[in-house]
Chains A and B, each alone.
Chain A
């Protein structure tokens, strides 16, 4: 009951924030408000027992999303032009649809109903079989990387494709965009002593935490997606305080491309390896004598692939935006 009321409160704040994002004319303010929106969203996920999702939203929303939006915003006018007045027609349609959906919600099972149709099919099977077939505590990781490996493979390739698209549009990789590296403006926040020292202190811990999330993802909330986002946050912090140039000399663009493509390839090749050893595509059980050990090997390797791709793609995207002038 208490949790339900806390949830109602947080959701109300969420709606208020969404309205404020839409209404604010200053894009910078809108970005800041969407930071609050993402924090509230993560809290709601946590409250709804989705720890893994909350961790992902935390990793992506708190660090990467704000930085990417600001890096993009740097290149365009900061204010929205005075808009056209509210169109009566669109407002009516929107309001009518909202009312219709709220009306339809009365036919939905209430929050947490254990008899809801969603809880009857397949999910009990996953929960029951995970200890037996895969034997890792985190059922979400088990479903993500083994039971629904195809799906995750597809998502990884979507991330890779989006990264390639950004690099085509803004010119990642080599050449023109990185020619700016030795200019004066490329010192980042080196002039600020306190951020510089604190970042130097914190970055090792951020990277260590990312590795923990990556390799402990079978036992606690975590996995390749979250770890990649946290790793990227650490490197972005480095390039903010020490300048793009240094960050790029630590992980050069070529290495980023290699990571993006290599991670996805690693994922795919685990599937092919399963086929070569006599199983189906992405069937990990055949990778070792003992099927459970095979599952463990497969999950660790593909999570590594996911982590590499997410790190490579998000970091390339950041560099592509930041190097643009």
Chain B
């Protein structure tokens, strides 16, 4: 029984790590800011959920699991909010998405 649980925990954590890494690579390699947000959001949502979920399976039904669940919930709530705030700030400051109306001049601030 405990071997199966260990296996499940390991599987969850490793899958989570794959998502975290993929998101990290996406945030580095994507062509412009707004697409990079897409990459980063992956590391902020699915990755932590899987990693923390795996650790919860590992810890069993204890206070540790409750704390992990709290961390997981908070991350699920806060990181989309942070992403929203970030995209909004960039748009407000005049950063244009690539390919929408491509101009090479400096992003103009509202004067």
- Using a CB–CB distance below 8 Å, which chain A residues touch chain B? 189, 192, 194-195, 198, 201-202, 205
Contact = CB atoms under 8 A, between A and B. Distances in A.
18 contacts: A189-B85, A192-B84, A192-B85, A192-B88, A194-B80, A194-B81, A194-B84, A195-B81, A195-B84, A195-B85, A198-B77, A198-B78, A198-B81, A201-B77, A202-B74, A202-B77, A202-B78, A205-B74
A198 B81 CA distance: 7
Contacts, number: 18
B100 to A, nearest CB: 22
A181 to B, nearest CB: 23
A305 to B, nearest CB: 29
Contacts of A192: 84-85, 88
Nearest to B81: A198
Nearest to A192: B88
Judged by DSSP, the binding face of B is helix
Interface of B: 74, 77-78, 80-81, 84-85, 88
A249 B74 CA distance: 28
A202 B74 CA distance: 9
Contacts of B74: 202, 205
B34 to A, nearest CB: 17
Nearest first, the 10 closest Cβ-Cβ pairs linking A and B are A198-B81, A194-B84, A195-B85, A194-B81, A195-B81, A198-B77, A192-B88, A201-B77, A195-B84, A202-B77
A200 to B, nearest CB: 11
A255 B84 CA distance: 34
Contacts of A201: 77
Contacts of A195: 81, 84-85
Nearest to A197: B81
Nearest to B84: A194
B88 to A, nearest CB: 7
